[in-house]
């Protein structure tokens, strides 16, 4: 289980991509602790994968987690590993 601490700066990725194809993350700060399971990980800094030329690989190498969100508005939350507690 992973805990994203309250007060962490995160980037939320919208569920619908803009027409130009670029990700347009929304910067925000978490209001409370959030808990995620291993199945929710989309970007993992421990195992960045082998696709070197991807955004996810670049974020993982820089120490970021990406957690899938079950929301109609947001598809993923990106947060630095310093703000994530592994439980």
Residue 35 Cα distances to 5, 28, 70, angstroms: 9, 17, 13
* pLDDT tens digits for range 14-30: 877 665 666 678 899 99
pLDDT in tens, the chain (87 residues): 999 999 999 998 887 766 566 667 889 999 999 999 999 998 888 777 766 667 788 888 888 999 998 888 888 899 999 999 998
Q: Tokens 């309250």 map to which residue?
A: 6
Q: What is the DSSP string of 20-44?
A: T-----EEEE-SS-EEE-GGGEEE-
- pTM across the whole model: 0.80
Q: Computed from CA positions of residues 50, 61, 25, 33, in that sequence, does the dihedral angle turn out positive or negative?
A: positive
Q: Tally helices (H) and strands (E) across the chain.
A: 1, 8
């Amino acid at each position: 289980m992973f805990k994203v601490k309250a007060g962490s700066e995160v980037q939320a990725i919208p569920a619908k991509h803009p027409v130009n194809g670029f990700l347009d993350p929304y910067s925000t700060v978490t209001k409370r602790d959030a808990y995620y399971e291993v199945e929710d990980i989309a970007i993992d800094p421990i195992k960045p994968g082998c696709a070197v030329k991807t955004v996810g690989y670049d974020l993982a190498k820089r120490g970021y987690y990406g957690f899938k969100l079950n929301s109609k508005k947001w598809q993923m939350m990106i947060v630095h590993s310093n703000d994530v507690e592994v439980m």
